[in-house]
Amino acid sequence: MKFNVYIDESGEAGIDKIRSDGVAGASPYFVMAAVVCQPTAEVLVKNALSDCRERISKKTWRHATDLKHSQKVYVARELNRLPIRFFALMSNKATLGDYKSEIRGNANKFYNKCAKYLLENVCAYLEPHMISENDLRVIFEEMNHDYDAMRRFLLRVKENPLHQSSKSLSILNPFSISTLKKGESELLDVADFVAHAVYQCANRSDHNYGIPEPRYFCELSSRFAGCRQGNPIGHGLKFIHDIDSMGLETEIVQMFRKTKVSLPSIK
C-alpha cells in the first residue's frame, strides 16, 4: 500500500528562551502532528474540508487558531469521520535538561529530533502494510528550516539506529521528504488542526486564562493510531519522554490514558 504523511506543528520550536510568567519567549510546549492517509482517500478529505469551510462560513482559514471554539468542535467532529489516521508528539521543554545544553539551544536540532520521534511511530505503524520505501511519501509544511539537515540526520539514524524504536525508519527514504507551503494542500491544514487540538490540552496561557481545552482532541481521538487494544499512547501519541513528565493537569492525563481509538487499526 502507498501512504502519504502530512506534518505540521503547534507552538514554537525555540528552546533557548521559554515564555513564562509574563516573560516573552517561545512556547513552553511543542507539538508536532502527522496525518496519514492513502492517496485515494485524499479526495474525500479535501471534499470534507471544503464542506466544513462552507458550513462555518470560513472559506479562507488555514490555521486552527483562526476559528472560534464552536467552529473547531464542528471541524474536529467532521474530521473524525474520515478514513485517515492521526499521530502527535508532545514535548514539555522544561524537561529537556542536558539535551538542551548538548545542542546549545539549537531550535533546528530540537525540531529534527521531534520529527524523528514522530516518524518512528508513523513508520512502526505502517511497516506491516508497506512493500518498499517508495510506498511512503512525507510532506512537511514549508517554513524557515534546514530540511536538508533534517534529511541527513534521519539518514544517519536510519543507517545506524542506536535504539530499537529507530529501526522502524528502515521503510523511510529521508530524501523523499518534501515540503509544501501553507495553503498548497488541504491535508496540511488538517495536520495543523490536529497539532492545535493536542497542543490545547497543555496550553495554559494568559490568553485562555490558564485553562487547557481538551474538547478538540476528544472529538478527534478515535482516529489516532493505537495498538491492538486501542490504546494510543506510545503509538498515535508520543510524549517526550513519558506522560508523567509533561506537567499536564491530572484530568488531562487521565483523559489521555482512558482514550481508546477505533479498530481495526488501519482502514
CB 80 within 8 A of CB 220: yes
The band of 174, judged by pLDDT with boundaries at 50, 70 and 90, is: very high
CA 151 to the chain's CA centroid: 18
The CA dihedral of 213, 214, 220, 223, to the nearest 10 degrees, is 150
pLDDT tops 50 at residue 145: yes
The band of 264, judged by pLDDT with boundaries at 50, 70 and 90, is: low
Residues 46-70 have pLDDT tens digits of 999 999 999 999 877 778 999 999 9
Size of the chain in residues = 267
Q: How many CB atoms lie within 10 A of CB 50?
A: 12
Distance (Å, whole) CA 199 – CA 30: 7
pLDDT tops 90 at residue 138: yes
- Can you name the residues that pair with 108 across neighbouring β-strands? none
Portion of the chain with pLDDT greater than 90, in percent: 80
pLDDT tops 50 at residue 266: no
Average pLDDT over residues 106-121: 96
CB 139 within 8 A of CB 180: yes
User: Which residue ranges form the domains of the chain, and what is each CATH number?
Assistant: 3-258 (3.30.420.10)
Distance (Å, whole) CA 72 – CA 64: 7
Residue where the block lists cell 467532529: 77
Name which of 11-15, 27-31, 82-86, 114-118 the model is least confident about.
11-15
